[in-house]
Amino acid sequence: MIRHLKILFLVMVVIGLMTGSAFAAASLNAGNTTLAAELISPSTDYSMATVNTAYQPAGAVAASTRLRFSLTNATFDAGAVLQMCAAGTNVSATYTVLTAPNNTFADFILNKPLASGDVYTLSNTNDNCVTAPVALTNVNILAGSAAGATASIAITNKDNSADPNVLAEGTIATVSNQFSATLSAVTSKLDFADNQETFRLTGTALPYTPAATQSQAGLLIVSNLSLANTVTTVDAGGACNKQLVAGDTVRIKITGDLTGISNIKYGTVPQSYTITSVDKTNGYATFNLAGNTTQMCAATETATKRAVELTAANVTGTPIVAGTRTVQVILLGGGNVAIGYSRDLVAAGTSSHIIQLDATQYYIPLIKVVAPSTQTYIKLQSKTTLSGSGGVSFSILASDGTTVTYNAGSITPGTPKTVTGSDLEAAVTAAGKTVDGSAGFAAVVTINVPEADLFVYANTIDAAGQWKRIPVKTVSGAIAE
């Protein structure tokens, strides 16, 4: 039995060697060129400068065989003349490409047989293959091809599409985004000492608040120059200082309340946009940054963020409103980037400037209330007399693990404000939830006052008139006694 299996195997090997196809497959190398998506117009096909092809059949292919070269996500130039050559020998009748929509394929009738192992190339000259084959210059990538798209060419036997001696496919181009960006949000606190018209200085590097009027997020734009076909950029000198050209645009759109904000600025040498009354009414401002003022890093460089700044107007009586501003960064073509091209580098709704009140938060870990005998009292005092200060808000932990917000009004400077456990329990009940007043529940209180100006005290008095002090901890971990 083993002897017969050996003989069968030897026969199969001999047959394979005779046909040249039993253990081989046809192959086609079409270059697989990397191509920047930013070069491709949404409405016009992109013409590849060159496409080199190298085709090897898996076995002998007879003369008169009809071969079809089919493109996927690509087209030939309509009317282009193609030929197939092997080392200066014309092996195919020339083919004139049809007009659209049939310019996605070319058909050849072989005037000479193809041999296994020989290399054949496609050329768009029409000289009977007298000269050395040249790369195709008449292949176009479809308009609107986005990152991740591939264009390919396949060779089949037109009369037998499954012919293993002929069948092969090669990738012409892989589309990738050349430009990408990330946005690092900044958290800036409003300064009560200046009636919330400026920021408190915090941080030492982007994103940070370097000055009273500057809240700076960090924008990093990266250009991948390793692609074979890239948008040409200008090196403005120094690290991370690549630029587009004037016809291209990077649009920075800031959305949110712009009260008390005078400008949006970008870059090391700031480009500036003045906030208008219309922007404030609309709730967003659009800053069109000329491409030759961008500052981008090559992917191989150490990343360097550039500031996207909201500049405080610092006008008396015009406080900045606390809340989160969001950003959208859009790349628009018109110069070296294809005309009509548009893509978000940073998606709309990305947090950019988180502007907070200079508030203080405290944990109150054990609030007990059992009507009518046991009660918890939380007393708050403030010495701040600055405009806009004093607001008190509780976040109460309910029995189902969710929280309920309770607005407790404001502290009058110098006057104790008392909030009871019953007040908090009633707020939870009004929200359709429960707390266990007998076992005790927890809450976080946020007070719109700097910590240095606050005095906080909490205790519980039981049915016997005994009182117990509750440690009140700031969110940062210190204990306020």
**What pLDDT shows up at residue 191?**
86
Overall average pLDDT of the 280-302 stretch = 97
**What pLDDT shows up at residue 97?**
94
What is the chain's alpha carbon radius of gyration, rounded to the nearest angstrom?
Answer: 36
Rounded Cα distance between 160 and 139, Å, is: 26
Domain ranges of the chain: 25-176, 179-356, 360-480
Q: Output the six-digit token pair for 425.
A: 């329990």
**How many CB atoms sit inside 10 A of residue 288's CB?**
13
Residues in Cβ contact with 460 at an 8 Å cutoff, skipping those fewer than 6 apart: 366, 367, 368, 374, 375, 376, 377, 421, 467, 468, 470
The mean of the pLDDT values for the chain is 91
Overall average pLDDT of the 108-121 stretch = 94
Asked if pLDDT for residue 10 goes beyond 70, the answer is no
**What pLDDT shows up at residue 4?**
44
Residue 140 · residue 48 · CB < 8 Å: yes
Per-residue b or e along 369-402, where b marks 16 or more CB atoms closer than 10 Å to that residue's CB: beeeebbbbbebbbebebebbbbbbbebbbeeee
**What pLDDT shows up at residue 399?**
96
**Greater model confidence, 329 or 123:** 329
> Which residue, 132, 134, 92, 96, is CA-closest to 114?
92
172-198 confidence digits (pLDDT tens): 999 999 999 999 999 999 987 787 899
**What pLDDT shows up at residue 254?**
98
456-474 confidence digits (pLDDT tens): 999 999 988 899 999 898 8
Domains 25-176 and 179-356 share a fold: yes
Overall average pLDDT of the 303-323 stretch = 94
Rounded Cα distance between 97 and 81, Å, is: 6
Q: Output the six-digit token pair for 239.
A: 């690290």
- Topology, domain 25-176: Immunoglobulin-like (2.60.40)
Confidence band of 73 (pLDDT split at 50, 70, 90):
very high
212-241 confidence digits (pLDDT tens): 999 999 999 999 999 999 999 999 999 999
**Greater model confidence, 391 or 29:** 29
**What pLDDT shows up at residue 387?**
67
Asked if pLDDT for residue 14 goes beyond 80, the answer is no
**What pLDDT shows up at residue 125?**
80
The segment with the largest mean pLDDT, out of 134-138, 390-394, 404-408, 419-423, is 419-423
> Which residue, 444, 377, 367, is CA-closest to 406?
444
**How many CB atoms sit inside 10 A of residue 42's CB?**
14
**What pLDDT shows up at residue 477?**
55
Tell me the C-alpha to C-alpha distance, in Å, between residue 405 and each of 14, 23, 60, 398, 431: 83, 72, 80, 10, 9
**What pLDDT shows up at residue 20?**
40
411-440 confidence digits (pLDDT tens): 999 999 999 999 999 999 999 999 999 999
> Which residue, 352, 315, 318, 345, is CA-closest to 330?
345
- Topology, domain 360-480: Hypothetical Protein Tm1070; Chain: A (2.60.290)
Overall average pLDDT of the 264-289 stretch = 97
The number of angstroms, rounded, from the C-alpha of 157 to the middle of its chain's C-alpha atoms is 44
Confidence band of 481 (pLDDT split at 50, 70, 90):
low
Asked if pLDDT for residue 277 goes beyond 90, the answer is yes
> What pTM, to 2 d.p., does this model score?
0.79
- Topology, domain 179-356: Immunoglobulin-like (2.60.40)
**What pLDDT shows up at residue 194?**
81
Asked if pLDDT for residue 36 goes beyond 70, the answer is yes
Among 14-23, 112-121, 229-238, 406-415, where is mean pLDDT lowest?
Answer: 14-23
Q: What percent of the chain has pLDDT over 90?
A: 78
